[in-house]
């Protein structure tokens, strides 16, 4: 078998330049001509709008001037990277980036699962449908609107939280200006906006679990909690792990808009992250070279996290309990 | 146990255990609390926008309005900035959505129905690579500027026209269509463009509707890219104008609440009412669409998860 394969390949090589062979290749391409025609604009789009920006990453090595382009800008080598690494605030930016994102990850990530499980336990199916529909309404609220709502709620004079604190006998402060509340505000608003939407996939998976399994568990004497533990939860485990890995992959890029809009001069010590620093350096200080370098640095950290997540997932899948 | 099973078969009512009933009560109460939590910020926003001045400043407004007035709405609905930004955003979202659908169908068709054309693998990697690695914010901005698209709507449209993720979703739906349809159309002499247009697109309405809605919502809610790409005021999109109006209202409230005369109190209250009224107006189109589209959205999430 192997031998015949080899000889065939050998033959193929020897006739590769024969006119007949070329004719065959040409025929095959000609048959797919419409496919190539279809691909052409798509490829052009991806090159211009996805690959050219990657090529523009080299502006991290230039003192890039917007109006002059690469030709008119001076090449500065690793100057921006050196400046970034010697920036005394760099450690704080990295710490804030990781804190804000990991707090969101660890606290928020299991919430949709819990929400879906509880929702599934509701006996009144109309009530269940109603809550589900309302729970993903916040997903469609834009970040600008979300942040404005947070500002209103946290306001020391007209906010609901302030009123509540006053009722309890405390003195309200502006919660957005207090660094110690920043992570909490970020997590709670994240919960509000994403829990219902992220639960959709779990709810659909739960609906797909065979009812026979529940019946069998009941017959074996499992109570409701045990049914959830031994039937529902294992059914969701794979989805959970899969989503977790995907989430880690884009960890450092989420949250940017919200954090940027929630920033004010008083909470900057905890709210300045690498992406917001990148944005400000580029778009507010117009130092495009430095900003590109900082953005690249952020991408590198994110890449490291993806690699770690992949490694862990391989381990987890091997020792997977379910 | 057997007895219980028998009871169920005969359709009789099963008496729940006490633990069961307590669990039910706790879950129901928790769900009601969550329901209030989800609705509160939205209801609060609507209520503040129409409540009486004193109630707004005294932080008395919670779920429902106290008093009623619409002065905030009459002041913003006459603002030309808001209407123009509505128009701009609808333009960007409309054109962007249309071009996205055309582009995504054309990107996904060769992968699903193109057969084994030369370069198929390369083309696949070429698209998927952009899912894992991107130029990032600043290089994208520099590219747009270099292309001369800065401060045009085209920068917003082209920036999110296609993404590898959407291509994967559309493609996986295409792949669920039997390929024999395409083959027989080929035998009948139709070319690939015609097959795409007359056969595949009509058969793929669910996925195309989902993607269309995703694109529209993302354009509607986008703040960052308009902030980067658009510099002249008459081209501002909705979220930019929104942010500006909110900021104005907040600063006016803050400046005025320092002093204590009654005239400035009215202005401070108006600032808050205006701010919330603007947010309500910006959300109305989404809320009108919402009941119709939420089913498609949910369907789309499942489509995306197939590929994982």
Helix/strand/coil (H/E/C) assignment for every residue in B49-64: HHCCHHHHHCCCCCCC
- Residues in chain B with CB shorter than 8 Å from the CB of A140 are 217, 221, 286, 290
pLDDT for residue B305 is more than 60 = no
Identify the pLDDT of residue B105.
93
Contact A53, A66 (CB under 8 A): no
Cβ contact, residue pair B217, A140, below 8 Å: yes
- d(CA A76, CA A85) in angstroms, rounded, equals 16
- Residues in chain A with CB shorter than 8 Å from the CB of B280 are none
Indicate if A51 and A194 belong to the same structural domain. no
- Six-digit token pair at A277? 């620093």
Closest Cβ–Cβ partner in A39, A137, A141 for B123: A39
Confirm or reject contact between A163 and chain B (CB < 8 A): yes
- d(CA B252, CA B255) in angstroms, rounded, equals 5
Of A46, A77, A108, which residue sits at a domain end?
Answer: A77
Residue A188 sits in a domain whose CATH number is 1.10.3720.10
Q: Quote the domain boundaries for residue A205.
A: 86-318
Indicate if A49 and A159 belong to the same structural domain. no
Binning pLDDT at 50, 70 and 90, where does residue A173 land?
A: confident
- How many domains does chain A fold into? 3
- Residues in chain B with CB shorter than 8 Å from the CB of A292 are 136, 138-139, 142
Indicate if A123 and A138 belong to the same structural domain. yes
Indicate if A242 and A146 belong to the same structural domain. yes
Cβ contact, residue pair B118, A48, below 8 Å: no
Instruction: Please provide the average confidence, as pLDDT, over all residues in chain A.
Output: 80
More confident residue, B130 or B71: B130
Of B110, B199, B208, nearest to A37 by C-alpha is B110
Cβ contact, residue pair A53, B20, below 8 Å: no
Cβ contact, residue pair A153, B41, below 8 Å: yes
Indicate if A232 and A157 belong to the same structural domain. yes
Confirm or reject contact between B127 and chain A (CB < 8 A): yes
- Which residue bears the tokens 């993903």? A136
- Six-digit token pair at B119? 């370069």
- Residues in chain B with CB shorter than 8 Å from the CB of A153 are 41, 44
Q: Which of B74-83, B177-186, B224-233 has the lowest mean pLDDT?
A: B74-83
Indicate if A69 and A7 belong to the same structural domain. no
Identify the pLDDT of residue B4.
47
Helix, strand and coil content of chain B, in percent to the nearest 5, comes to: 80, 0, 20
Cβ contact, residue pair B294, A136, below 8 Å: yes
Interface test with A, best of B39, B41, B63 (most A CBs within 10 A): B41
Identify the pLDDT of residue B8.
46
User: Within 13 A of B219's CA, how many CA atoms are on the CB side?
Assistant: 32
Distance of CA B282 to the CA centre of its chain: 13
Burial of A1 (0-12, 13-18, 19+ CB in 10 A): exposed
- Scanning B63-102 for CB atoms below 8 A from A yields none
- d(CA B23, CA B101) in angstroms, rounded, equals 47
Q: Which of A126-135, A295-304, B282-291 has the lowest mean pLDDT?
A: B282-291
Indicate if A160 and A293 belong to the same structural domain. yes
Binning pLDDT at 50, 70 and 90, where does residue B12 land?
A: very low
pLDDT tens digit string along B92-117?
999 999 999 999 999 999 988 887 88
DSSP structure class, residue A241: H
- Residues in chain B with CB shorter than 8 Å from the CB of A25 are 118
> Any residues with CB less than 8 A from the CB of A226 and at least 6 apart, and which?
A217
Fold of B70-308: MetI-like fold (1.10.3720)
Most trustworthy range by pLDDT among A187-196, A250-259, B48-57: A187-196
pLDDT tens digit string along B65-83?
777 777 777 777 787 888 8
Cβ contact, residue pair B217, A37, below 8 Å: no
Indicate if A139 and A180 belong to the same structural domain. yes
Indicate if A41 and A166 belong to the same structural domain. no
Closest Cβ–Cβ partner in A35, A127, A145 for B114: A35
CATH 1.10.3720.10 residue ranges of chain B are: 70-308
Indicate if A133 and A180 belong to the same structural domain. yes
Burial of A79 (0-12, 13-18, 19+ CB in 10 A): middle
Cβ contact, residue pair B134, A138, below 8 Å: no
- Scanning B163-202 for CB atoms below 8 A from A yields 191-193, 196
Confirm or reject contact between A296 and chain B (CB < 8 A): yes
- d(CA B162, CA A79) in angstroms, rounded, equals 35
Identify the pLDDT of residue B57.
67
The residue of chain B nearest to residue A48, with distances taken between CA atoms, is: B143
Identify the pLDDT of residue B94.
93
- Residues in chain A with CB shorter than 8 Å from the CB of B107 are 39, 42
Indicate if A152 and A204 belong to the same structural domain. yes
pLDDT tens digit string along A12-34?
455 556 778 888 888 888 888 88
Identify the pLDDT of residue A41.
94
Confirm or reject contact between B250 and chain A (CB < 8 A): yes
Closest Cβ–Cβ partner in B110, B250, B286 for A151: B250
Confirm or reject contact between B35 and chain A (CB < 8 A): yes
SS3 A75: strand
- d(CA A145, CA B284) in angstroms, rounded, equals 12
| Cα→Cα distances B216→B91, B128, B161, B211, B297, Å | 10, 23, 11, 9, 12
Most trustworthy range by pLDDT among A64-73, B31-40, B255-264: B31-40
pLDDT for residue A9 is more than 60 = no
Q: How many residues are recorded in chain A?
A: 322
- Scanning A189-218 for CB atoms below 8 A from B yields 192, 196-197, 200-201, 204, 218
Cβ contact, residue pair A283, B228, below 8 Å: yes
CA angle, B214 then B86 then B277, to 5°: 100
- d(CA A50, CA B139) in angstroms, rounded, equals 10
pLDDT tens digit string along A42-101?
999 999 999 999 888 888 888 888 777 777 777 788 888 888 888 888 888 888 888 888
Indicate if A119 and A268 belong to the same structural domain. yes
Residue range A303-320: mean pLDDT, rounded: 70
């Amino acid at each position: 078998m192997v031998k015949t394969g080899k000889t065939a390949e050998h033959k193929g090589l020897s006739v590769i330049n024969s006119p007949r062979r070329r004719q065959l290749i040409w025929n095959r391409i000609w048959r797919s001509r419409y496919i190539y025609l279809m691909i052409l604009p798509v490829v052009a789009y991806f090159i211009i709008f996805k690959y050219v920006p990657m090529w523009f990453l080299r502006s991290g090595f230039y003192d890039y001037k917007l109006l002059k382009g690469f030709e008119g800008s001076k090449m500065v080598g690793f100057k921006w990277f050196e400046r970034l690494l010697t920036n005394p605030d760099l450690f704080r930016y990295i710490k804030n980036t990781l804190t804000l994102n990991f707090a969101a990850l660890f606290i928020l990530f299991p919430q949709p699962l819990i929400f879906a499980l509880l929702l599934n336990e509701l006996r009144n199916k109309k009530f269940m449908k109603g809550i589900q529909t309302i729970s993903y309404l916040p997903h469609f609220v834009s970040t600008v609107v979300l942040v404005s709502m947070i500002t209103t709620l946290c306001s020391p004079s007209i906010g609901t939280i302030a009123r509540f604190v006053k009722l309890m006998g405390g003195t309200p402060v502006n919660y957005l200006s207090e660094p110690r509340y920043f992570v909490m505000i970020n997590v709670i608003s994240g919960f509000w906006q994403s829990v219902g939407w992220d639960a959709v996939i779990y709810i659909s998976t739960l609906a797909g679990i065979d009812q026979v399994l529940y019946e069998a568990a009941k017959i074996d004497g499992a109570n409701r909690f045990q049914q959830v533990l031994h039937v529902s939860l294992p059914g969701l485990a794979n989805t959970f792990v899969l989503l977790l890995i995907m989430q880690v992959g884009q960890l450092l890029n989420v949250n940017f808009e919200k954090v940027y809009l929630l920033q004010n001069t008083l909470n900057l010590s905890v709210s300045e992250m690498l992406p917001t620093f990148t944005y400000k350096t580029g778009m507010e200080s117009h130092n495009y070279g430095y900003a590109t370098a900082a953005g690249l640095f952020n991408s590198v950290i994110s890449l490291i996290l993806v690699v770690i997540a992949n490694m862990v997932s391989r381990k987890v899948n091997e020792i997977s309990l379910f | 146990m057997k007895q219980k099973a028998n009871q169920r078969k005969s359709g009789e009512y099963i008496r729940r255990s006490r633990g069961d009933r307590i669990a039910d009560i706790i879950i129901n109460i928790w769900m009601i609390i969550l329901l209030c939590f989800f609705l509160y910020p939205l209801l609060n926003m609507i209520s503040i926008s129409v409540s009486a001045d004193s109630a707004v400043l005294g932080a008395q407004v919670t779920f429902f309005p106290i008093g009623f007035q619409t002065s905030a709405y009459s002041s913003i609905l006459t603002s030309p900035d808001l209407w123009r930004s509505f128009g701009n955003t609808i333009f960007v979202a409309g054109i962007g959505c249309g071009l996205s659908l055309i582009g995504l169908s054309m990107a996904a068709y060769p992968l699903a129905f193109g057969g084994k054309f030369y370069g198929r693998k390369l083309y696949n990697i070429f698209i998927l690579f952009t899912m894992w690695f991107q130029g990032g914010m600043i290089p994208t901005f520099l590219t747009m500027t270099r292309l001369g698209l800065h401060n045009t709507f085209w920068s917003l449209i082209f920036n999110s026209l296609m993404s590898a993720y959407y291509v994967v979703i559309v493609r996986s739906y295409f792949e669920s269509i039997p390929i024999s349809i395409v083959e027989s159309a080929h035998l009948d002499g139709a070319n690939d463009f015609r097959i795409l247009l007359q056969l595949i697109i009509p058969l793929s309405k669910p996925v195309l509707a989902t993607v269309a809605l995703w694109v529209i919502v993302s354009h509607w809610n986008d703040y960052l890219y308009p902030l980067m790409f658009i510099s002249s005021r008459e081209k501002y999109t909705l979220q930019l104008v929104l942010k500006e109006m909110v900021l104005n209202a907040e600063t006016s409230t803050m400046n005025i609440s320092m002093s204590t005369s009654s005239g400035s109190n009215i202005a401070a209250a108006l600032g808050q009412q205006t701010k919330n009224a603007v947010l309500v107006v910006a959300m109305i189109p989404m809320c009108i669409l919402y009941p119709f589209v939420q089913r498609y959205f949910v369907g789309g999430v499942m489509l995306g998860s197939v590929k994982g």
